[in-house]
Structure 1
Amino acid sequence: MTNRVVISLGVAAVAAMTTFSFPAATAMAEPVGDTPVTDTPLPAGVVKLGDGEQCPTKTLCVYRDYGRSGPAYGIGAGYHVDLNKLPITGGVAGRPSEANNVSSWVNNTGSKAKLINIDTPGLIRSLKPGRSLEEPTVTNDTVDTVDWAAK
């Protein structure tokens, strides 16, 4: 019986370590890698990831650079996010946010993400659940906001 208790506690500990929750809108950006320290709160449903950090479950991950590297954030399914609210350094042409800077995507949610370019009305692409994307040259660094397809 003691072995069963130890095994149960071990499974609970692993489950606790892999549980991923999204912060309230009052969470502050944390300095990670080359991302600057900022007092600006992150949008609801967004967490800061480390450079090259693997995308957690139930999360849409945005990476500044190809190969899932550079400054990165995780977005919870269903959260509409303006990528201008996600600060980075080293963006294209000195842009200080993930807007018009995302080169790699991973959709580990169960929902279809809509990748929206507000600079070109009507340019909306989808990223299906369980898929990843390395941006082709023609659409690299063009997404401004993330939304979700209706179920």
Structure 2
Amino acid sequence: MLELDLMDETNTLSEQTIELVEKVLQFAADQQAVKSGSEVSVTFVTNDAIQEINRTYRDKDVPTDVISFAMEEMGEGEIEIKNADIPTLLGDIIISVERASEQAASYGHTFERELCFLAVHGFLHILGYDHGTKEEEQEMFGLQETILQAFGLKREGHGQS
């Protein structure tokens, strides 16, 4: 089981929606055999807030849908801590609720499915997946789709609610 910390800074999401994101991330963690007790924080924010984060950390002054910060990336000169008793802090996922809503409308599926898609996308990023090349993109997006389908969230948006 993941140790999940979900925060809705927008105060717009229902408890059921937050629980759905939590369940899909637990499911994705099981699918990816993530060590039990690993910690992930998910923060739901406004477009303005995510734009500020994007500008500060990525030098891109635009709102985006999801940003993730992996904690486990080894920097130069860092020493890997090998102690099974210490929970693994995987990272942070930040999702724009406004962008999720806009994208759900333009893709023709539910807001909940889009939110879960973005959560899984961010989660796979903190596990080390990327989509910089065509091959990486196919692998990562294929995996996202597999996780969401297996969980029961179909692309048309008629899955779990």
Q: TM-score, normalised by structure 2?
A: 0.28
Name whichever structure is richer in helix by fraction: 2
Name whichever structure is richer in strand by fraction: 1
Higher relative contact order, structure no. (Cα contacts within 8 Å, ≥ 6 residues apart): 2
Looking at CA atoms only, which structure, 1 or 2, has the larger radius of gyration? Answer: 1
Q: TM-score, normalised by structure 1?
A: 0.29
